[in-house]
Amino acid sequence: MTTTTTHDTAAIRPDLARIAGWIEPGSRVLDLGCGDGTLLAYLRDHKKVDGAGVEFDDERVIASVRRGVRVIQQNLEDGLALFGDQQFDSVVLSQTLQSMHHTEHILREMARVARFGIVSFPNFGYWPHGLSILKGRMPVTGQMPYEWYNTPNIHLCTMKDFEDLARQLGLKVTHVAAFNRDKEVNFLRGWRSTLAVYRFESPNAAS
C-alpha cells in the first residue's frame, strides 16, 4: 500500500483531493453517491475525465446537473445493473459505504464495473470513540455527528476491519490515506484518524 501526492486541489476537500490524485487523466470515472457533483466537476475540469454520477437525493441531482455533471438518479441499494463489466477505469464511493445495507454487494459491484475502486468511510477505530464507549455512550464526533437513534450509519468499521473484508473479497488495496478533519494522518492512522480512504484493484481487472 502506498501514498501519493496531489497538486492543484485547493478548491476541494482534502479527502477528495487525495481521491482525485489517484485517478488517471482522461480516464472513465463513475462516482456513486456523487452528491452535488463537486468531485466529478473537478475531475472534468482538471483531469479531463469522462465522468458520470449516481445520486438519489433530488436537490443533489439538481446541483450536479447545474455543474454540468452527467448524473443518474438511482438508489445505490438497487445495485449497478445499469453498468457493464469493466465499463469504467475507476469507481468512487465517498463517505457512503457505512450507510449501505449490503456492504459486500456494493464492493463486489464496484469491482465488477471498474478496474479500480475508491472508498472512504468514518474510521470507528479513532481513539475518542473507544473512550466514549467506555463512558457508556455511543460516540458523537465531527465525522459522525449523529445520535444513535437518528444516524444513517449502519455499518461502522475500523481501518483493519475494512482491510480484512477487502482481502476476503479478493480486492487488492493499492493506496490508503487517513484524515483527521482537514489534516492527513500518517502516524498511527488507525487510532488518530477520523476518515479512511482506500483505493483497491478489482480481481476482475485485465492484466
Domain extent listing, the chain: 14-124+156-201
Can you tell me the distance from the alpha carbon of 119 to that of 185, in angstroms, rounded to the nearest whole number? 17
* Cβ atoms 155, 100 nearer than 8 A: yes
pLDDT for 137-179, tens place per residue? 555 665 555 555 555 556 788 999 999 999 999 999 999 999 9
Per-residue confidence (pLDDT) for residue 86, from 0 to 100: 96
pLDDT at 157: 85
Cell reading at 161: 476491519
Whole-angstrom Cα distance, residue 125 to residue 44?
A: 34
The whole-number pLDDT of residue 43 equals 97
Nearest to 174 by CA among 23, 1, 19: 1
Own/partner contacts of 16-23, CB < 8 Å, gap of 24 or more, are: 16/42, 16/94, 18/177, 18/179, 18/184, 18/197, 19/92, 19/94, 19/118, 19/120, 19/197, 20/46, 20/47, 22/90, 22/116, 22/118, 22/175, 22/199, 23/47, 23/49, 23/89, 23/90, 23/118
Global confidence as pTM: 0.86
**What whole-number distance in Å separates Cα of residue 96 and Cα of residue 43?**
19
**What per-residue confidence (pLDDT) applies to 126?**
72
Query: Is the CB of residue 111 less than 8 Å from the CB of residue 103?
Result: no
In the predicted model, what is the mean pLDDT of the chain? 86
At 21, give phi and psi (nearest 5°): -70, -20
Q: For residue 169, what pLDDT is reported?
A: 97
CB atoms within 10 A of CB 140: 14
Write out residues in the chain with pLDDT < 70, as ranges: 1-10, 127-154, 206-207
CATH class of 14-124+156-201: alpha beta
In degrees rounded to 5, what are phi and psi of residue 109?
Answer: -65, -40
Instruction: Kindly state the DSSP code that residue 113 receives in the 8-state scheme.
Output: H
In three-state secondary structure terms, 67 is coil
The whole-angstrom separation of Cα 58 and Cα 73 is 8
